[in-house]
Amino acid sequence: MDTSQLEEIAHRLVVRGKGLLAADESNASCKKRFDAVKVDCTKETRREYRELLFTAPGAEKYMSGVILYDETFWQSTHAGPMFREYLKARNVVPGIKVDMGLIDLPGFEGEKLTQGLDGLPERMAEYHAAGAQFAKWRSVIAIGDGIPTDECIGANTFVLARYARICQDAGIVPIVEPEVLFDGTHSIDRCEAVMTHVYDVLFQTMRAFRVHLPGAILKTAMVLPGKNSGAGINHDDVAARTVRALHEHVPPELGGVVFLSGGQTSKDAFINLNRIAQKGPHPWGLTFSYSRALQDPVLKAWANDRTAKTEIKQLFAKQLELASAASKGELDESTLDHDDFVSHAQDL
Ligand code: 13P
């Protein structure tokens, strides 16, 4: 394992002022998003839409890397170059989602396990040879009556640790994502307790499986009250609890920390990130790895008029600029009250 190369890639991904675009929605997730704006979801429409994101002028100023789905990894821009080569030429690191999605955890109602370890070393070698420099694996932890169980947390962290070590042996930086879900009626206290416990078990397991922590990145949700709890989002409380959970339960030598947006509105996801960044210094580079919070307004605009390519690309670059400012704690939050932003920012 070339640990210094892994560390260098991890640092590039979380360098100050840049963050990640998660464009790795599975075809099923992409269909849900496209259905919501009434666009047919085909291999070509997925390619057409993602090309707009990747080729937005100025995006490379704010985007350190892009997480691709397997289909997109092997697709090309209209002009010819493969997406992954196009991104690399713009100094944007291409990454790949390698998990194969969720299955029910047998015997544990309401809990899930992520599959995809079988054959993973061979797939990793292929992605690495084709230019992938980092990977993502998403596990989910749901909060509810009697869940998460220790068995669910144990099974998912075991798989995340195994995946991470397989990545590193292939020269790829693993992003480990144990997503504690926003869905549910739980309190913010409960979310914090679950998340800190998951971090404790995760890093103990990663160490046990000999993962080189400075060459790995954590992708996490923020500490939030359940989406259906009736509690509003208090940005300062979210930021204080998220920073406390990270500072007290995530090893300082880790290669970086990135956030998912997890179904928050774009506005909440940007303001929360801004407040979190303001509570620094943090021991790691800390930034965004958003899908919906970056893309929702862009997807809507594209669905409204698929020929307005210049405007759509500008809108995406603007989203990235806001996220970048937030990642530095330098976002002027009043700009988010701009009418256009608010009208676009509702969750799809
Ligand atoms: P969201 O930002 O939409 O939560 O997606 C990020 C992601 O990659 C989830 O795995």
Q: Is pLDDT above 90 for 7?
A: yes
| Strand intervals (E) in the chain | 19-23, 63-68, 93-97, 102-104, 112-114, 134-141, 173-180, 217-220, 257-259, 286-290
325/343: higher pLDDT: 325
Pocket of ligand 1, candidates 21, 97, 261: which has the most ligand atoms within 8 Å of its Cβ, to mutate? 261
Tell me the pLDDT tens digit for each residue of 218-244.
999 999 999 999 999 999 999 999 999
The predicted structure's pLDDT at residue 341: 56
Q: What is the 3-state secondary structure (H, E, C) of 290-335?
A: ECHHHHHHHHHHHHHCCCCHHHHHHHHHHHHHHHHHHHCCCCCHHH
Residue 94 alpha carbon to ligand 1 centre in Å: 16
The predicted structure's pLDDT at residue 340: 56
Residue with tokens 């429409």: 45
CA angle (137, 140, 145) in 5-degree steps = 170
Contact 73, 132 (CB under 8 A): yes
- Give the mean pLDDT of 7-35: 98
What's the chain's average pLDDT? 96
Q: Is pLDDT above 50 for 156?
A: yes
Pocket of ligand 1, candidates 291, 294, 295, 347: which has the most ligand atoms within 8 Å of its Cβ, to mutate? 291
Greatest CA separation for the chain: 53
Atom of ligand 1 nearest to the CA of 295: 3
Atom of ligand 1 nearest to the CA of 292: 3
Q: Is pLDDT above 90 for 64?
A: yes
| 337: confidence class by pLDDT, cuts 50, 70, 90 | confident
The predicted structure's pLDDT at residue 347: 43
- Catalytic site residue 112? no
- Give the mean pLDDT of 207-217: 98
Q: What percent of the chain has pLDDT over 70?
A: 97
Residue with tokens 């999605």: 101
- Catalytic site residue 177? yes
Q: Is pLDDT above 90 for 344?
A: no
Residue 22 alpha carbon to ligand 1 centre in Å: 6
Atom of ligand 1 nearest to the CA of 177: 10
Tell me the pLDDT tens digit for each residue of 124-151.
999 999 999 999 999 999 999 999 999 9
| 1: confidence class by pLDDT, cuts 50, 70, 90 | confident
Q: Is pLDDT above 70 for 312?
A: yes
Among the options 18, 112, 219, 227, which is catalytic? 219
**Residue 253 CB partners (closer than 8 Å, separation 6+):** 213, 214, 283
Atom of ligand 1 nearest to the CA of 24: 8
Q: Whose CA is nearest to atom 4 of ligand 1?
A: 262
Q: What is the pTM of this model?
A: 0.97
- Give the mean pLDDT of 300-313: 97
Pocket of ligand 1, candidates 53, 140, 290: which has the most ligand atoms within 8 Å of its Cβ, to mutate? 290
**Residue 33 CB partners (closer than 8 Å, separation 6+):** 25, 295, 299, 348
Domains and CATH numbers, the chain: 3-342 (3.20.20.70)
Tell me the pLDDT tens digit for each residue of 66-123.
999 999 999 999 999 999 999 999 999 999 999 999 999 999 999 999 999 999 999 9
Omega cis (within 30) before 148: yes
Residue 140 alpha carbon to ligand 1 centre in Å: 11
Among the options 51, 177, 179, 192, which is catalytic? 177
The predicted structure's pLDDT at residue 346: 47
Residue 138 alpha carbon to ligand 1 centre in Å: 9
Residue 181 alpha carbon to ligand 1 centre in Å: 11
- Give the mean pLDDT of 150-167: 98
Ligand 1 neighbours by CB, cut-off 6 Å? 22, 138, 177, 260-262, 290-293
- Give the mean pLDDT of 61-67: 98
The predicted structure's pLDDT at residue 230: 97
* Total residue length of the chain: 348
Residue 139 alpha carbon to ligand 1 centre in Å: 11
Q: Is pLDDT above 70 for 343?
A: no
